[in-house]
Amino acid sequence: MTSSVTLTATTARERMERAKAASRSIGLLSDSEKADALTAIADALEASAAQIVAANAEDLARGERDGLSAGLLDRLRLDEARVAALAAAVRDVAELPDPVGRVLDERTLPNGVALQKVSVPFGVIGSIYEARPNVTVDIAALALRSGNAVVLRGGTAAESSNAALVGVMRDALAARGIDPEAIQTVDEFGRDGAHALMQARGLVDVLVPRGSAQLIETVVTQSSVPVIETGAGVVHIVLDSSAPLEWAEQIVVNAKAQRPSVCNAVETVLVVRDAADRLIPPVATALTDAGVTIHGDDEVRRFVADAVPVTDEDWATEHMSLDLSMRVVDDLDEALDHIRRYSTQHTESIITTDDAHIERFLAEVDAAVVMANTSTRFTDGGEFGFGAEVGISTQKLHARGPMGLPELTSTKWLARGSGQIRA
Amino acid sequence: MTSSVTLTATTARERMERAKAASRSIGLLSDSEKADALTAIADALEASAAQIVAANAEDLARGERDGLSAGLLDRLRLDEARVAALAAAVRDVAELPDPVGRVLDERTLPNGVALQKVSVPFGVIGSIYEARPNVTVDIAALALRSGNAVVLRGGTAAESSNAALVGVMRDALAARGIDPEAIQTVDEFGRDGAHALMQARGLVDVLVPRGSAQLIETVVTQSSVPVIETGAGVVHIVLDSSAPLEWAEQIVVNAKAQRPSVCNAVETVLVVRDAADRLIPPVATALTDAGVTIHGDDEVRRFVADAVPVTDEDWATEHMSLDLSMRVVDDLDEALDHIRRYSTQHTESIITTDDAHIERFLAEVDAAVVMANTSTRFTDGGEFGFGAEVGISTQKLHARGPMGLPELTSTKWLARGSGQIRA
């Protein structure tokens, strides 16, 4: 069995060709076959925890020698508990409904031809991401659940961990009689592997980059394979004239401080001028109490003594930290202008009791998720009830906003006739 | 008014910026405003027919000097009747239902936040196409109907015609108080205009190339703007062991000869061996009677004396003519292998009465439209009942198969809360 499981293909291209070949049988697996395969993978991850942790120790030792930051080393680290958490996440994915085979449209032509539009796997999903071994398992599980083969390219710093995880997952598939070539890594080919993945039109059907804005920009601009862009969030909250103070305080603090390092955290608060003296002092106090540093324009700083001066760069920055930019605007129009200029089209929210302003905001703001009177932190596949999150798309093609398993499928029209020809 | 209508922007980039700015108001037009605008455009096209035909005459004269083929000149030609047909097509688009504002998903979170997923315009649609002035009007009408601004880049050979058509359409918008900058052409910038369009990430939301396989390949590989690929069709029909002769004859002849120059015409017929002597002679006779030249493998040529020897290149060729490749295969598996190797994933059909083979074919063939017992010529937005056809997508992302107006929209999540924050 080992010979079919070991990664014998010696070029990135050959690995992608094997993924493509494997995608045919993977795409035909039944709901329960896919769920069982994921359960087997979860079991195998737990059973192989010691081996995985040992491989991870190699990456950690190398990372320490190379001077990786404490934060990066923590993201890289796997211990028995984290491996168990990975396995649990795979079991959660196993329990999700099969996104394949949904009938999305049905019509019978006047001549009797019966048409059905059904969801089908993409085929092969590629992913380029950073040195986070959990992503290796996460993407592979989501891909398999949706009937896809997967080609992974994680950060070089996690190469040993990823190799161990991929090996365990491939063995688990093979043991169930499923083609292990459905899970491939091109890690050991370094940048050449990433390049091959981005140029694999015809072998890889869609590429999902996960990581920093810079990584995503590189993939989006260099890939000839179609990309689903999961982008950065320069997220705004508008405090309108009628914003209730309690909502303003609670939502802004929640959106910034509950978890500042994520893409749905707010970066900029725009306060409409005639509410400035009512709202800015208490909201600023609540933010400061939560440890937030406010970067304010001149008007904001008249209310907030310890605010630092905001810069033009701040408006365009996803801080990923307890920093928040704040500006006073003339009215809703100026708020909309600011958002249009600086938004990354991820999530935008307005706090107001003015129904006309709510409807204008929802209609006019061009973003994946547009909100009224709620925290931007709700932009999340789990919160939306999707059960799993593939990422949050900031593009307009194919998927926009939080993506669940259905976004990892394409469609196909089936036509059943009885000899019909076109007149 | 003329100053706002005349194309004053002097660079391709500036024109795209104006389209982007205009897209905001265009995206907010109501159903009836968009329908009325299209009716106004149709009226204006008819009223300006003489001016349009005169501009077209300049292109025709230049094309004759440049030695364009009779076929290309015919595609380029506009007369009063063709202008009237263009106007009628615009009126048809005006009558289609508004694809914007459809509620595609609705859910209320446990905390009471109400979510709606609604269809929204992309914003700005770009199109690169060949010297067919009808496409100028067609794409502009489809874009406007779906609330999008449009940037057009047609073939240089149609530059005068396109300029006249764009001018008439912009004037018609302005006369109704709609921002004429919603319709832009970058024709006069030549290749630079096409290049600017393909690099306009952030200004142009999606690019729809229309034309030859070579044009589409260029756009797909060079564009950093997301592309909807409308590709070539190397379309197969499998004649299975149980294929009824009447269906086989009628469907193959219809799929090849009814209109050989289109992408849903069949290119290759694969005959399962144990039906070869029953089916090939009569099907070949019916094809020959319809003027078709059969390119056959050795086995086919034993039945068809006047068949020419098929080449490896034939299998991969979209002939666009009354040429058809024919091969004898061992069984359904070999037919599926052949299709996997040569299919452009457009449309594939099997003729059989074997239900198990029908289901295998529908499940295993990876194409936009997979058929049993019907002509491949039905892969068409009009035939599918979409009312209009944007093109036939051969990609897997966003849209697959015949595209109607809904495929020119993206989505946005709207969230309405009352102070909810994330725990």
Give the model confidence (pLDDT) of B110-144 as tens digits. 999 999 999 999 999 999 998 889 999 999 999 99
Do B420 and A378 make contact, defined as CB atoms within 8 angstroms?
yes
Answer whether residue A12 is part of any domain. yes
Residue A242 pLDDT > 60:
yes
Residue B160 pLDDT > 90:
yes
The predicted model gives A169-190 an average pLDDT of 96
**Distance between CA atoms of residues B269 and B256, nearest Å:** 10
Single pTM value for the model: 0.93
B248 and B210 in one domain?
no
From B24, B372, B412, residue closest to A370, measured CB to CB? B412
Look at residues B272, B366, B374, B286 and name the one whose alpha carbon lies nearest to residue B328.
B272
Number of structural domains found in chain A: 2
Shortest distance between the Cα of B140 and any Cα of chain A, in A, equals 19
Answer whether residue B383 is part of any domain. no
The answer to whether residue B123 neighbours chain A at the CB level (below 8 Å) is yes
Q: What is the pLDDT of residues A361-394, one digit of tens each?
A: 999 999 999 999 999 999 999 999 998 788 899 9
Q: What 3-state DSSP class applies to A328?
A: strand
The answer to whether residue A108 neighbours chain B at the CB level (below 8 Å) is no
Q: Residue A21: which CATH number?
A: 3.40.605.10
Residue A4 pLDDT > 60:
no
A109 and A258 in one domain?
no
Answer whether residue B15 is part of any domain. yes
Q: Which domain holds residue A263?
A: 235-378
Q: What is the pLDDT of residues B237-247, one digit of tens each?
A: 999 999 999 99
Contact B182, B215 (CB under 8 A): no
Shortest distance between the Cα of B408 and any Cα of chain A, in A, equals 9
From A250, A395, A421, residue closest to B419, measured CB to CB? A250
**Distance between CA atoms of residues B78 and B222, nearest Å:** 32
Which strands make up the sheet holding A235-239, listed edge to edge? A308-309, A293-296, A323-329, A266-272, A235-239, A347-351, A369-374, B409-420, B114-121, B103-108
From A369, A395, A416, residue closest to B413, measured CB to CB? A369
Answer whether residue B97 is part of any domain. yes
Residue pairs spanning A and B at CB distance below 8 A: 207
Give bridge partners of residue A127 from the DSSP assignment. Answer: A152, A208
- Beta-carbon contacts of A347 under 8 Å, excluding residues fewer than 6 positions away, are A233, A235, A264, A367, A368, A369, A370, A371, A376, A379
Tokens standing for A160?
């040993």
Scanning every residue of chain A, which has its alpha carbon at the shortest distance from the alpha carbon of B123? A366
From A221, A395, A410, residue closest to B396, measured CB to CB? A410
- The rounded radius of gyration (Å) of the Cα atoms in chain B is 24
Task: Please list every residue in chain B whose beta carbon sits closer than 8 Å to the beta carbon of residue A415.
Answer: 349, 369-372, 374, 378
Shortest distance between the Cα of B228 and any Cα of chain A, in A, equals 9
Contact B133, B158 (CB under 8 A): yes
The predicted model gives B284-306 an average pLDDT of 97
Answer whether residue A112 is part of any domain. yes
Do B412 and A422 make contact, defined as CB atoms within 8 angstroms?
no
Distance of CA B229 to the CA centre of its chain: 9
Contact A284, A324 (CB under 8 A): no
The answer to whether residue A416 neighbours chain B at the CB level (below 8 Å) is yes
A245 and A174 in one domain?
no
Amino acid B3: pLDDT: 37
The answer to whether residue B422 neighbours chain A at the CB level (below 8 Å) is yes
Look at residues A392, A97, A155 and name the one whose alpha carbon lies nearest to residue A265.
A392
Do A410 and B397 make contact, defined as CB atoms within 8 angstroms?
yes
**Distance between CA atoms of residues B17 and B22, nearest Å:** 9
B184 and B276 in one domain?
no
* B-proximal residues of A, 343-402, CB under 8 Å: 349, 358, 362-364, 366-375, 377-379, 383-385, 395-398, 400-402
A276 and A198 in one domain?
no
Answer whether residue B111 is part of any domain. yes
From A244, A258, A370, residue closest to B414, measured CB to CB? A370
| Amino acid sitting at position B68 | L
Best mutation site among A342, A355, A397 for testing chain B: the one with the most B CBs within 10 Å? A397
Answer whether residue B271 is part of any domain. yes
Scanning every residue of chain A, which has its alpha carbon at the shortest distance from the alpha carbon of B224? A221
Amino acid A1: pLDDT: 33
* Residue B75, Ramachandran bin (φ over 0: left; ψ between -120 and 50: alpha; else beta): alpha
Look at residues B366, B362, B342 and name the one whose alpha carbon lies nearest to residue B354.
B362
Residue B217 pLDDT > 90:
no
Task: Please list every residue in chain A whose beta carbon sits closer than 8 Å to the beta carbon of residue B375.
Answer: 417, 420-422
The answer to whether residue B108 neighbours chain A at the CB level (below 8 Å) is no
∠ CA A113-A117-A118 to the nearest 5 degrees?
Answer: 130
- Beta-carbon contacts of B25 under 8 Å, excluding residues fewer than 6 positions away, are B178, B179, B182
Amino acid A10: pLDDT: 81
A285 and A155 in one domain?
no
B166 and B105 in one domain?
yes
Element (H, E) at A294: strand A293-296
Shortest distance between the Cα of B254 and any Cα of chain A, in A, equals 6
B306 and B209 in one domain?
no
Q: Where residue B4 falls among pLDDT bands split at 50, 70, 90? A: very low
**Distance between CA atoms of residues A272 and B214, nearest Å:** 53
A129 and A79 in one domain?
yes
A159 and A225 in one domain?
yes
The predicted model gives B302-314 an average pLDDT of 96
Q: Where residue B389 falls among pLDDT bands split at 50, 70, 90? A: confident
Amino acid A224: pLDDT: 87
Shortest distance between the Cα of B227 and any Cα of chain A, in A, equals 8
Residue A3 pLDDT > 50:
no
Average pLDDT across chain B, whole number: 94
Residue with tokens 């015949």: B402
Tokens standing for B351?
């003729």
Residue B5 pLDDT > 60:
no
Answer whether residue B251 is part of any domain. yes
Q: Residue B349: which CATH number?
A: 3.40.309.10
A370 and A239 in one domain?
yes
The answer to whether residue A115 neighbours chain B at the CB level (below 8 Å) is yes
| Amino acid sitting at position B416 | R
Amino acid A406: pLDDT: 94
Do B107 and A246 make contact, defined as CB atoms within 8 angstroms?
no
B243 and B123 in one domain?
no
The answer to whether residue A418 neighbours chain B at the CB level (below 8 Å) is yes
Amino acid B8: pLDDT: 67
- Beta-carbon contacts of B204 under 8 Å, excluding residues fewer than 6 positions away, are B16, B19, B20, B124, B125, B126, B151, B197, B225
Amino acid B231: pLDDT: 76
- Beta-carbon contacts of A242 under 8 Å, excluding residues fewer than 6 positions away, are A275, A352, A353, A354, A357
Residue B229 pLDDT > 50:
yes
